[in-house]
Amino acid sequence: MSQRSRDVQVVRGLEKRKACDLCHIKKIRCDAKKPTCSHCVVYVAKCVYTPYIRKRRHEVQVQSSTLADEPVAPKPAPLPEPAPHSRTELPPTSELVPHVQNYFANFNSIFPLFDSKTFTAILNGLESPKGPDAVLIAAVNVILALSYEPGSTTLPGYDQATCIENAQSRINHLLAAESHDHLLRIQVLLGLVILRQGTSPAPEGFSMTNSLVASAIKLVHRLGLQQSRTNVQFDAETSLQRQRVFWIAYILDRDTSMRAHDPPLQQENDHDIPIFESTPGYGLMSFTTAAGEEAIFDFFQARIKLAQVQGIIYEQLYSVRAISQPPENRQQTVNRIHGMLVAWFQHHVPVQLLPENLSTEVLALTPSFIRQLITVYFTYLSCYLHIHRVGSHNAEWITRLVNYSQTILFPSSPSPGQSPFTPLLSQESSTSKDVLLVARETAKLFRLVDRTDSSLIWNTGCTYISATLVLIANCLTVSEQGGDLDEEDAKLMEEAMQFFKGLADEMPHFQTLEKACAELECRARIARTRHTSGKWPEPNRGTGTGAAWLETEARKSAGFSAIQLVEAFTTASVKPYQTRLWRAGQ
């Protein structure tokens, strides 16, 4: 091949390149997502494409004319620099120790991501002449971020947001194959997943969480944590730590996949790690109730068992194979998984910690334990709503809810040939009664969520929205059937609308969802008014009565089309349900 041919090949390669600078340099496939590709999200890098083709074409042509025998390769662009405000050093060990001890006494004692003895030994090496490496700096920042609780004191300059930024800026080192401490890298990635789950559920944040989970599972397999035979090569303490890290990766993988309706990355038939009994300080909670009773809760084992049920829900109800099964088989599967959830709750949750007892027992529990307990309850309640396919995650159910509310707002007859609308929640159905009970329990449990705890709010908010929609659906159904709505349900809906309004004022990307919730809640109030004395019984709802009030409220509630309402609640395509959506006059 002539020198001229080699030069032409180089130039053509440059002309056809579609990857961003980072993906091109690291030689990985770029998905070209806008404004930031998936790999740049993981590496916390600016996603740019440097248009230097013409300049390099000139350089290649000039150099090939002077150096006939040496093809010239283009110079790679530099790797992205760490975030400009990220710290490259750590505070003195004496300042770190109290916060690290607080982390192990609280968060880690419930969700044992790190081993205290191992990490204490690492901290003792911070004063070495070489100083801490990037992975260790990331680990310390993750621990500081996880130790944060509303109202707690933090190191100056190391608030939770800063610590997350410091850890994320070292993603390159966490994923580098030459890094020496593989287990610590996985722990840091999993810690970032936990922290990212407690941040605003914007699309780019959710995408990054999925990428972090995928990277962690890949490293788990590379280190062989999913195989028992690899653990026997280590001493008992190290082997136990490896098993804990595997199960935490397993839990977070299933939790993230359920939120995204994606299959879990860690398959059930691709590991043989046994579920061990937890120990004090590592998942086993011993506490004294407000009544003075001693009780034990193996939180970590309960969370593993619930994660197994989450995997079964996807495999048997949401996978491609499960969707194609006959309706009668599907209902049998729903009943079987329903029994699994009931059995999990009865077997693992102490009676002293039942949701209805938390308001009285709460004084005897640590804030960290309460937060984790509320989180696992909301995970359980989310599983329940998922198996019955109700809530904001299910486009078909949302479509039925919107259609049913359309009959309230626009009571004209449907178009010829259109099937009549069926009630959302049958008053005689035991399943509907169970779903409604779960929705009420969810809404009541959300009262215990600290409104200043943004992390816990985002972890539980999606399930809370689904529960509110079930309450709205029940209000529509009861009103249309001429029944009386439970006053407690009306109060729970009122609380939800007030909370969503406050959240939308702070979070602009939440405004559309808040308006959609308000729209449906308004339709539920219209339905209730039609079947009562003609006025809203609560004084704060206004004094309008009869047809005039009803007309005013209906006009307020006409801001969304049916399709817009469905799109507001779910990212699923509405095309399969579009023919079932209608408005007055259509």
Q: Going by DSSP bridges, is the β-strand pair 294-298/279-280 parallel, antiparallel, or unpaired?
A: unpaired
3-state per-residue secondary structure call for 473-493:
HHHHHHHHCCCCCCHHHHHHH
pLDDT reported for residue 315: 93
Q: Which residues pair with 279 in a beta bridge?
A: 282, 283
Strand bridging mode 279-280 / 283-288 = parallel
CA dihedral for 316, 312, 346, 449, sign (positive or negative) = negative
Q: Whose structure tokens read 């949401």?
A: 318
Q: Which amino acid is at 540?
A: N
The DSSP H or E segment spanning 279 is strand 279-280
Query: What's the first-to-final CA gap in the chain, in angstroms?
Result: 68
Task: Identify the architecture of domain 3-66 in CATH.
Answer: Irregular (4.10)
Q: If the chain, 586 residues long, is cut into consecutive pieces of 10 residues, what is the mean pLDDT of each piece?
A: 43 56 76 79 72 39 34 39 53 86 91 90 67 82 88 79 86 65 88 83 67 92 92 89 96 92 91 91 83 84 96 93 88 93 92 77 72 92 91 83 78 45 58 87 91 86 92 84 77 93 83 86 81 48 51 61 74 44 37
Residue 449 CB-half CA count within 13 A? 25
Handedness of CA 224, 230, 231, 234 (dihedral sign): negative
Contacts 24+ apart (CB under 8 A), 230-234: 231/273
Kindly give the interhelix angle for 367-387 and 430-445, rounded to the nearest 10 degrees. 160
Ramachandran assignment for 485, one of left (phi > 0), alpha (psi -120 to 50 degrees), beta (any other): beta
Sheet holding 283-288, edge to edge: 279-280, 283-288, 294-298
* CA 576/CA 16 separation, integer angstroms: 37
Dihedral in degrees, nearest 10, Cα atoms 14, 16, 18, 21: 0
Assigned token pair, 93: 């060990």
Nearest CA to 127 out of 96, 82, 161 is that of: 96
Query: What pLDDT, on a 0 to 100 scale, did the predictor assign at position 552?
Result: 63
Residue 284: strand pairing partners: 280, 298
Residues in a beta bridge with 287: 295
In the chain, the amino acid numbered 55 is K
What pLDDT is recorded for position 53?
A: 36
Contact 310, 356 (CB under 8 A): no
pLDDT at residue 287 in the model = 79
Task: Yes or no: say if 503 and 514 are a contact pair by the CB < 8 Å rule.
Answer: yes
What letter does residue 282 receive in the DSSP assignment?
Answer: B
> What local confidence, expressed as pLDDT, does residue 364 receive?
64
Largest distance between two CA atoms of the chain: 95
CB atoms within 10 A of CB 156: 8
| Token output for 222 | 């590379």
Please give the C-alpha separations between residue 468 and each of 139, 362, 495, in angstroms, as whole numbers: 38, 24, 10
What pTM was estimated for this model as a whole?
A: 0.78
**Domain boundaries, given as residue ranges, for the chain:** 3-66, 93-274, 388-580
> Position 567: which residue type?
E
Q: Which residues contact 369 (CB under 8 A, 6 or more apart)?
A: 106, 110, 285, 287
